[in-house]
Each structure stands twice: as C-alpha cells, then as structure tokens.
C-alpha cells in the first residue's frame, strides 16, 4: 500500500517509510491511498477473536509486503503482552446500553499505550533491519510522552526527546516521564502550552538541519500514521463484541488532537456500522464549535481539569478535512495555510461531517459532577477525560436502543486532584508497578519557549 500527503504535493511513500517519518515534505500528514474495506461477513467473523489476532486482521492490509505475517504477529504479541487485563480492552456496562471501553490497562495507564507499545516494537524491528539510528521527537500534553518513552526506551537505535508544557501536566504524568533515567531519554519542560510544543515539533520536522551527523527525526505523535492505524483496532473490537455488524454501534470520544476519534471515523469507512461519533471536548472547544456552529476560530487556551485535552490546534482534523474535501490536497493546503486564523467549512462539507459527527462541550464543573454522579449511580470511577466523554454521550445520543461506547482514555489514578474534587474521601491507588513513582529520581530540562534553544539542547545532547 502507498501513503499520500493531505496537501497533495509530497511524494507517496511505502508503509515503512511512512512510519519512519513525520510530516510530509509539503507540510501535510500521510494517509493511505485507499482504505481496506471489510464485508459484513468478515466483520461478523471477528467476534470473539483475541485482541492480537483482530489487530493482525485490521493492520495487515496497511502493511502489505513490508512485513511478513510472522513478523507482524510477533510485533503485535510483544506490543500487548504488558497489558494488565486479559481482554486488553475490556468493556464495562454503566447504564442502559452505555459501555465504558477501558483503554487504560497498558503500562502507562492511558489509551496511548495501544499505539505506542506497537510503534516502539515496530521502530525497533524496522530500524534494526535497516541498521539505522534515529531521533524521536514528540510533544505531549501528558499521556503521549510517557507512553512513547515506555515504548521506545528499550530501542537501541533511538534517542527520544519529549516536550511537555512546564507545570501543565499532572504530577503522576510528569513523574511517569521524568522518572525514566535511561541515557537515550530526554524530557524537556517547555515554558509554554502543548500547542507551542507541537508547533516546535512540526517546525523541527520541516527543517532538520540542526541535527548532528545526518541524523533524522521520526514522529511518535499521531501525525505518525501508525498511531492512528493501531487505534482503529479497538473500535472493531468493541463493536463486534456488542453485536456489529448486525447492530449499529456509537462511540463517544474525549477529543484533543483528533487522532482517537479519527481512528473511529476510519473504522466506519472500513465497514463498521457506526451511527454516531461524539466529539467530546473540554472548555477548549474549537472542534465542538466547528461542528455545531461552523466556528473554527482559535481562542486563548484554558487550563482545565482534563489537561491532556488542553489543545487548540488539532493535528488530525487535517486528515478528516482531506477526506471531506474529496481528497483535494490543494483545497486542504489553502484552508490550513494559517492555523491561527479562523476557518469556515463549505456548507456541503459541514453537512457531510454532521452525518456522523456530533459534539458537546463539558466544562470543569460538569466534569466533576459527572465523576460524582456516575460513581453514585454505579460505583464506577471515571477519570476527568472519560467523564467528558460520558457526559457528552448522555447529552447527544439519539436513543438507548443502540450501544453507546464511551472510550475511557486514562486511569483515574493519573488525575487524583480532579477526582478528589468530586469524591474527596476516595483514595485511588496506583497499580503495583507504579507504587514507587513518587520516590523515583526525576530528570528534565526546563527551557524557554524558543525553538533555537530547544534545538541547541537536542544537538548538544546528541553530541
């Protein structure tokens, strides 16, 4: 399979080259030239499959001949062996046809592990094969960073640099990153927002001349196609276990960079019968405003109780626009020429988006109320991001006849302060493998919001 840029002017790439790159040379994001589609019969046959086998069936068509079946199976086996639940992504019922898809049983307690455990194994395999050493550079609002570090720390051919907004991630999230003291891991706490971190990463991919010895950058953020691809799997997994393809299924997704919900959109394009995809936002509601009022105008960032979603520039919205604008790269390039400017979608495009996307905004107060209410109703403890998805689902779902799956993107133990506001007396223990988290020595470099300074630090570290 070949992969093409959403801006239409970069050369197409193989699967391997797409994985080992970041942005396309024209500034766009890579997407597959065409999507594999599964028939109702094929989807029906997925019910009851082990998670790894299902992942193999979904991912193999994208990989094509770049990996043998045995190689891909081995990578998938290694990717999911450190998940603490035998189902990998278990479903828990919390109300009439309301289900929580628990995506936090991986090593760093967030949904990012699904793709980043896989990506780490994939990098290791491909780089060893090529005999190449690369520099991974990523931006995080809290969860991608630790999952990427956990996925890559054992890769001999990788040095990894993660930028996070200084003092804007939870203490658990920060320690999960800065407590890793491996020689190939570098944490940068940037005096800025996640959007600043992400801009720096994108600017560094565009001009990599600051790297020594002809080294090159590889992406771990969801600009990397493999991230999205691995996340498609759990939509199929949940849906077939709830009756698809013979039943329609709906998903509510706490949304920031639009990667997770975009994977759901692709699952639908690949044949999964999904009626509603709910974009659940916190007060940083640019995507909700876009879907509800055609108002995609950036506003100052608000620091919320769901910090991982404190994002104004959602990278993967570009991939959706490419599809909605009939894969017209020039139209996308024109629309996104200035991401800080307000954007309006054509009426036709907005109508197409609204066929499947619904949206809702949940502020901090409502987030806290939802954590409390759901706990009182069902003794189920939500993290603040998941609470936003649950509340949004309850507000916009069309009926309780069809299952509504709320993606639980993080374990509540990552956000004890937010949970304590809802349930002050409730203790949330960290899992056994993280019991010593608060005793671990930390290492990070605090840097001003200045691209040249960050690149200088990286070049010196790579020495």
Ligand X SMILES: N[C@@H](CCOP(=O)(O)O)C(=O)O
Active site residue 445: no
Residue 50 φ/ψ, nearest 5 degrees:
-60, 145
Position among 178, 204, 409, 455 found at the interface with ligand PLP (CB under 6 A)? 409
Between 56 and 99, CB nearer to ligand PLP: 99
User: Residue 410 touches which of ligand X, ligand PLP, none (CB < 5 to 8 A by kind)?
Assistant: ligand PLP
Catalytic residue among 112, 129, 247, 352: 112
Per-residue x/- marks for ligand X, 311-350, CB under 6 A? ----x-----------------------------------
Beta-strand ranges (E) seen in 38-168 are 91-95, 98-102, 134-139, 158-165
Per CB under 6 A, 258 contacts ligand PLP:
yes
Interface residues for ligand X in 211-250 (CB under 6 A)?
221-222
Position among 308, 359, 386, 455 found at the interface with ligand X (CB under 6 A)? 308
Between 218 and 244, CB nearer to ligand X: 218
Estimate the share of the chain in helix, then strand, then coil, as percent rounded to the nearest 5.
45, 15, 40
Per CB under 6 A, 199 contacts ligand X:
no
Per CB under 6 A, 145 contacts ligand PLP:
no
Per CB under 6 A, 455 contacts ligand X:
no
* DSSP-derived pairing of the beta strands 30-32 and 3-5: antiparallel
Residue 104: half-sphere exposure toward Cβ, Cα within 13 Å:
23
Per-residue x/- marks for ligand PLP, 209-238, CB under 6 A? -------------x----------------
In angstroms, rounded to a whole number, what is the distance separating the alpha carbons of residues 100 and 319? 26
Interface residues for ligand PLP in 367-386 (CB under 6 A)?
385
Per-residue x/- marks for ligand PLP, 92-111, CB under 6 A? ------------------x-
User: Residue 281 touches which of ligand X, ligand PLP, none (CB < 5 to 8 A by kind)?
Assistant: none
Between 32 and 142, CB nearer to ligand X: 142
Residue 416 φ/ψ, nearest 5 degrees:
-60, -30
Closest by alpha carbon to 18, among 160, 233, 218, 270?
Answer: 218
Taking the complex as a whole, how short is the minimal distance between the CB of residue 68 and ligand X, in angstroms? Answer: 29
Residue 271: half-sphere exposure toward Cβ, Cα within 13 Å:
18
In angstroms, rounded to a whole number, what is the distance separating the alpha carbons of residues 334 and 324? 14
Between 256 and 271, CB nearer to ligand X: 256
Closest by alpha carbon to 176, among 145, 221, 141, 151?
Answer: 145
Considering only the stretches 87-95, 140-148, 293-301, 352-360, report the one whose residues sit in contact with ligand X under the rule CB under 6 A: 140-148
Enclosing H/E stretch for 57? helix 51-63
Beta-strand ranges (E) seen in 107-247 are 134-139, 158-165, 185-190, 217-219
Interface residues for ligand PLP in 318-377 (CB under 6 A)?
none
Per CB under 6 A, 141 contacts ligand X:
yes
Between 27 and 259, CB nearer to ligand PLP: 259
Per CB under 6 A, 281 contacts ligand PLP:
no
Between 142 and 384, CB nearer to ligand X: 142
Intra-chain end-to-end CA distance of the chain, in Å: 37
| Angle at alpha carbon of residue 280, lines to 278 and 284, rounded to 5° | 145
Considering only the stretches 18-26, 251-259, 267-275, 349-357, report the one whose residues sit in contact with ligand PLP under the rule CB under 6 A: 251-259
User: Residue 221 touches which of ligand X, ligand PLP, none (CB < 5 to 8 A by kind)?
Assistant: ligand X
Taking the complex as a whole, how short is the minimal distance between the CB of residue 95 and ligand X, in angstroms? Answer: 26
The structure tokens listed for 458 are 């990286």
Residue 335 φ/ψ, nearest 5 degrees:
-60, -35
Residue 448 CB neighbour total at 10 angstroms:
10
The structure tokens listed for 66 are 């770049």
Considering only the stretches 35-43, 143-151, 287-295, 398-406, report the one whose residues sit in contact with ligand X under the rule CB under 6 A: 143-151
Between 304 and 308, CB nearer to ligand X: 308
Q: Contacts with ligand X: how many residues (CB under 6 A)? A: 13
Per CB under 6 A, 389 contacts ligand X:
no
Taking the complex as a whole, how short is the minimal distance between the CB of residue 111 and ligand PLP, in angstroms? Answer: 7
The structure tokens listed for 149 are 């570090």
How far apart, in Å, are the Cα atoms of 369 and each of 119, 197, 317, 375? Answer: 36, 31, 29, 10
Closest by alpha carbon to 43, among 295, 329, 237, 296?
Answer: 237
Considering only the stretches 256-264, 290-298, 325-333, 358-366, report the one whose residues sit in contact with ligand PLP under the rule CB under 6 A: 256-264
Between 259 and 389, CB nearer to ligand X: 259
Q: Do the beta carbons of residue 339 and residue 455 sit within 8 Å? A: no
| Cis amide leading into 245 (omega within 30) | yes
Q: Do the beta carbons of residue 290 and residue 372 sit within 8 Å? A: no
Q: Do the beta carbons of residue 278 and residue 396 sit within 8 Å? A: yes
Catalytic sites, residue numbers: 112
Q: Which residues bind ligand X (CB under 6 A)?
A: 140-145, 221-222, 256-257, 259, 308, 315
Q: Which residues bind ligand PLP (CB under 6 A)?
A: 110, 142-143, 222, 254-261, 308-309, 385, 409-410
């Amino acid at each position: 399979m070949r992969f093409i840029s959403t801006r239409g002017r970069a050369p197409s790439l193989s699967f391997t080259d797409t994985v080992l790159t970041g942005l396309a040379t024209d500034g766009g994001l890579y997407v597959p030239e065409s999507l594999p589609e599964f028939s109702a019969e094929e989807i029906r046959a997925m019910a009851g499959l082990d998670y790894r086998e299902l992942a193999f069936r979904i991912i193999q068509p994208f990989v094509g001949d770049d990996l043998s079946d045995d190689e891909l199976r081995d990578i998938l086996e290694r990717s999911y062996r450190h998940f603490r639940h035998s189902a990998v992504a278990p479903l828990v019922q919390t109300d009439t046809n309301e289900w929580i898809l628990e995506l936090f049983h991986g090593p760093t307690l967030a949904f990012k592990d699904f793709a980043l455990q896989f990506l780490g194994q994939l990098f290791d395999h491909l780089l060893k094969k090529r005999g190449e050493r690369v520099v991974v550079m990523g931006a995080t609002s809290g969860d991608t960073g630790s999952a990427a570090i956990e996925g890559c720390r054992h890769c001999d051919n990788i040095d990894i640099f993660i930028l996070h907004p200084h003092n804007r991630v939870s203490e658990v999230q920060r320690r999960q990153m800065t407590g890793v003291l491996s020689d190939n891991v570098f944490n940068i706490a940037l005096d800025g927002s996640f959007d600043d971190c992400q801009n720096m990463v994108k600017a560094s991919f565009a001009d990599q001349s600051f790297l020594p010895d002809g080294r090159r950058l590889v992406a771990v953020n969801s600009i990397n196609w493999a991230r999205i691809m691995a996340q498609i799997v759990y939509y199929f997994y949940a849906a077939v276990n709830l009756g698809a393809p013979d039943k329609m299924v709906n998903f509510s997704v706490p949304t920031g960079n639009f990667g997770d919900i975009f994977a759901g959109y692709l699952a639908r394009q690949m044949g999964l019968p999904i009626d509603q995809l709910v974009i659940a936002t916190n007060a940083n509601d640019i995507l909700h405003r876009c879907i509800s009022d055609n108002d995609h105008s950036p506003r100052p960032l608000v620091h919320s109780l769901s910090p991982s979603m404190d994002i104004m520039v959602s990278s993967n919205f570009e991939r959706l626009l490419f599809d909605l604008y009939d894969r017209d790269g020039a139209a996308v390039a024109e629309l996104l020429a200035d991401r800080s400017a307000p954007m309006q979608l054509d009426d036709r495009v907005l109508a197409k988006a609204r066929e499947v996307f619904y949206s809702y905004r949940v502020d901090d107060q409502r987030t806290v109320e939802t954590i409390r209410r759901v706990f009182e109703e069902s003794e189920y403890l939500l993290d603040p991001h998941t609470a936003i998805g649950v509340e949004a689902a309850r507000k916009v779902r069309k009926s309780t006849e069809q299952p509504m799956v709320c993606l639980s993107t993080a374990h509540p133990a990552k956000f004890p302060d937010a949970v304590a506001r809802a349930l002050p007396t409730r203790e949330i223990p960290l899992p056994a493998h993280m019991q010593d988290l608060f005793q671990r020595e930390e290492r990070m470099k605090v840097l001003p919001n200045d691209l040249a300074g960050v690149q200088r630090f990286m070049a010196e570290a790579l020495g």
